[in-house]
Amino acid sequence: MPPLSAPVTEVLKSWWNRGKQPPASYYGDKDGKEIDLLLIQDQVFYPVAIKKSASPRREWAQPFVALDRLRPDRPEGGVVCLCRQRLPLTDKVTAIPVGLL
């Protein structure tokens, strides 16, 4: 597993500081597709990627396709980035301004 990004670390610390195990995981496959954070609630995975750019690109949604093969009914995912407003990248992936968190 690669080193954790600062936003992912902050999410995990918020759980640990309350003495709880975070309902989270990471996804990476042999083809190099990675999703930084899979939040888990009621056995449903909510994928979140994190990018250090203010210019969202459709190709950021590509790693989410790997999850669709595993779980076609997965909920919408998000790419947290430095953009100014929410922007759909695909029908199931949205760029989300970090300021909204």
d(CA 39, CA 33): 17
Lowest mean pLDDT among 12-21, 57-66, 83-92: 12-21
pTM metric for this prediction:
0.81
Of residues 95 and 17, more confidence is placed in 95
Q: Does pLDDT of 11 surpass 70?
A: yes
**Tens digit of pLDDT for each residue in 56-87?**
999 999 999 988 888 888 899 999 999 999 99
| DSSP letter assigned to residue 69 | H
Sheet of 34-41, strands arranged across? 24-28, 34-41, 44-50, 77-81, 93-97, 87-88
How large is the C-alpha radius of gyration of the chain? Answer: 13
User: What is the residue extent of each domain of the chain?
Assistant: 6-100
